[in-house]
Structure 1
Amino acid sequence: MPRIVFTQQLRRFTEVPEIDSGAGVLRAALEDAFNANPRLRGYILDEQGHLRQHVAVFVDGRRVHDRLSLADPLSAESTVHVLQALSGG
């Protein structure tokens, strides 16, 4: 089963459980995490359901580039890392 892991930065704001999901695409796996903790949704997605600007998601070590549909495929062995992106100079 794909595993979703949230970084420690998000723990300052809400509970961030690691989730095993049977989902085949990223959006469905994130929904499983939101079902476990509904407060996560507001930290990860904006009002249109798109990935927030300050959030980065990696599937099997590759950064997700489609921040709108979140349709990246997941395999049974996939690991999804969700973290706050750093910005600035």
Structure 2
Amino acid sequence: MAQLFFTQQLARFTAVPEVSTDAGRLREGLDSAFALNPRLRGYVLDDQGALRPNVVIFIDGRRCLDTRRLDDPLQPDSKVYVLQALSGG
């Protein structure tokens, strides 16, 4: 099963579960996490359901390509990391 991990930066705002999912697509995997903590959705997704600009997702070491539909495929052994994208100097 694919594993979703949320970094501790998000934990400052709400509980961030580690999720095991058999989802075949990123959005389905995220929905599994949001089912455990609905407040998490607002920190990760905007009002249109797209990834917020200050959040980045890596799937098996590669950055998520589809930030609107979140349709990137997940493999049964995928590792998905959701974290805040930091900027500044």
TM range (shorter): over 0.9
- What secondary structure does 1:83 align onto? strand
5+ residue gaps, structure 2: none
Residue in 2 that maps onto 1:22: 22
Aligned to 2:9: 9
Residue 31 (structure 1) aligns with: 31
Q: CA deviation at 1:31?
A: 0.2
Give the alignment's Cα RMSD to 1 decimal. 0.6
Matches of 2:43 and 2:58, distance apart in 1: 16
Q: Does 1:74 align with 2:77?
A: no
Q: What CA distance in whole angstroms lies between the structure 1 residues aligned with 2:84 and 2:6?
A: 9
Per-residue deviation at 1:88?
Answer: 2.0
Partner of 2:56: 56
Q: How many residues align?
A: 89
TM (norm. structure 1) is 0.97
Question: 1:14 is matched by which residue type in structure 2?
Answer: T
Distance 1:87 1:50 in 2: 20
- CA apart distance, 1:46: 0.1
TM-score (norm 2): 0.97
- Percent identity between the aligned chains? 60
